A and B are shown apart, each in its own frame.
Chain A
């Protein structure tokens, strides 16, 4: 029976906490998909209040410090380097040669979490001699993950897996040349960070802030309902130069976006699109 009692978060609780967060903290989760969001609330409730949902509601409304903690956990921040190596292989083959035509290359990793994806992309740019000419923006809702991204320090226990991913993505160098091992961590070298900028940006409320040659936004649209997905794709459309690339996660698509017509496919399997020259 303990199993069944664990589930205190139903529809009513989810809608209530979304309302409380919005009213008291001004952050809007109403456009998020409920199945995942409700699991997050369940997880937080189990951990922080031993299953007592009322305590969570109270702390979210009254305790600012607690809310900061809560916010870090309520979105999913899991990420890895070179997730889907075949995607990064397609970037090497089909996208980098095109980006190479620009004097200055602007890239935006929207919802970059702790930055593993940003360093993966920077590795590719470096190996194509494009990193010097690039500026990479990494943004996320969560300021805490951005601090980690800025530091570029990742646990050494994942490095073997990342090295395999790197090789599968077409990397032919020594991956270990890119970081220094220190106290169970891999510290990515300083030259990567020279052209990286990290800042907070909420895809629900913030808009376009620059013009980019490539935008990567992977594994966050899955958490959004269709209207919010559509809003985000509009921001990307407005933020891309003509011919600029848009890269989504392996199970995401432009299907539900009002603006899907503004894009053409570069690689449908790898979810790489391109803004049409004339929109």
Chain B
């Protein structure tokens, strides 16, 4: 079960199959969903991108690409821009970083999860979705060590199970949730805190 009491940020990572999965997660959420959501998906670089509009099409929640120095606010789902790592400063603003790829990826899910762990500690909730590599697992573990609530998509429901399975293997998850239940549970949990 998901409990959003005291949660100030939700962070979600995914790779192969991740666009479809994230739209499914966001679909049930209302426009005024009270906790900001940060989304890191592996994506193509150096091509014009439609990711923001594709995701926006499926949800009432406002979807935007994170800008550098932007203050993180509720009622918004932010996506990591292509070809930058998405960092978070102590004052809960975004920072972008064009440093080396990590696990062949930029944006790296691990890096954003690590920032969330360091800035939000036990006031964060992390979810790792479908994907074909192990990015995100060690970041999720750090979140867990700092007291965050950590979930993975149930690998049985994942288009590619490597990513959630890697998190499970290192003990980074509190619970597994089937993809078609994640959005619903978030929605119900939001009702309880509002």
Residues of chain A touching chain B, judged by Cβ–Cβ distance below 8 Å, are: 1, 3-4, 7, 11, 33-36, 39-40, 76, 78, 82-86, 164-165, 168, 219, 222-223, 226, 249-253, 256
Closest A residue to B139 using CB positions: A3
A251 is contacted by which of B81, B88, B118, B138 (Cβ under 8 Å)? B81
| In contact, A83 and B142 (Cβ under 8 angstroms) | no
Q: Which residues of A contact B65 (CB under 8 A)?
A: 251
Interface-side segment among B4-12, B34-42, B56-64, B90-98: B90-98
In Å, the complex CA distance between A86 and B89 comes to 30
Interface string of B112-154 (1 = CB under 8 A from A): 0011001000000000000000000010011001100000000
In Å, the complex CA distance between A78 and B96 comes to 13
Closest A residue to B88 using CB positions: A35
List of 8 A-B pairs having minimum Cβ-Cβ separation, nearest first: A35-B87, A76-B99, A36-B97, A35-B95, A4-B145, A222-B96, A219-B98, A35-B89
Known contacts A251-B68, A251-B81, A256-B69: A168-B95 contact under CB 8 Å: no
B96 is contacted by which of A1, A4, A251, A256 (Cβ under 8 Å)? A251
Q: Which residues of A contact B118 (CB under 8 A)?
A: 7
Question: Other CB < 8 Å A-B pairs besides A78-B100, A83-B46, A168-B47, 11 of them?
Answer: A3-B141, A4-B146, A7-B118, A35-B90, A36-B99, A78-B99, A83-B83, A84-B46, A222-B68, A222-B95, A252-B68
| In contact, B69 and A3 (Cβ under 8 angstroms) | no
In Å, the complex CA distance between A78 and B108 comes to 15
In Å, the complex CA distance between A35 and B99 comes to 12
| In contact, B138 and A3 (Cβ under 8 angstroms) | yes
Q: List 28 A-B contacts (CB under 8 A).
A: A33-B89, A33-B95, A34-B89, A34-B90, A35-B87, A35-B97, A35-B115, A36-B87, A36-B97, A36-B99, A39-B87, A39-B99, A40-B99, A76-B97, A76-B99, A83-B46, A83-B83, A168-B47, A219-B98, A222-B68, A222-B97, A222-B98, A250-B81, A251-B81, A251-B84, A251-B96, A252-B68, A253-B67
| In contact, B84 and A86 (Cβ under 8 angstroms) | no
Q: Which residues of A contact B69 (CB under 8 A)?
A: 226, 256
Residues of chain B touching chain A, judged by Cβ–Cβ distance below 8 Å, are: 46-48, 65, 67-69, 81, 83-84, 87-90, 95-100, 111, 114-115, 118, 138, 141-142, 145-146
Q: Which residues of B contact A78 (CB under 8 A)?
A: 98-100
Closest A residue to B91 using CB positions: A34
In Å, the complex CA distance between A120 and B65 comes to 27
In Å, the complex CA distance between A223 and B88 comes to 13
Known contacts A168-B46, A222-B68: A39-B81 contact under CB 8 Å: no
| In contact, A4 and B142 (Cβ under 8 angstroms) | yes
In Å, the complex CA distance between A102 and B49 comes to 35
In Å, the complex CA distance between A256 and B100 comes to 26
How many Å from the CB of A9 to the closest CB on chain B? 10
A36 is contacted by which of B83, B95, B141, B146 (Cβ under 8 Å)? B95
How many Å from the CB of A30 to the closest CB on chain B? 15
Closest B residue to A253 using CB positions: B67
How many Å from the CB of A13 to the closest CB on chain B? 13
How many Å from the CB of B84 to the closest CB on chain A? 6
Q: Which residues of A contact B88 (CB under 8 A)?
A: 35
How many Å from the CB of B83 to the closest CB on chain A? 7
Known contacts A33-B95, A36-B97, A222-B68: A85-B89 contact under CB 8 Å: no
Q: Which residues of A contact B146 (CB under 8 A)?
A: 4
How many Å from the CB of A51 to the closest CB on chain B? 15
| In contact, A165 and B46 (Cβ under 8 angstroms) | yes
In Å, the complex CA distance between A256 and B67 comes to 12
Q: Which residues of B contact A83 (CB under 8 A)?
A: 46, 83
Closest A residue to B145 using CB positions: A4
In this complex, the member of B46, B65, B83, B90 whose beta carbon has the largest number of chain A beta carbons within 10 angstroms is: B46
Closest B residue to A229 using CB positions: B69
In Å, the complex CA distance between A253 and B70 comes to 12
Q: Which residues of A contact B111 (CB under 8 A)?
A: 39
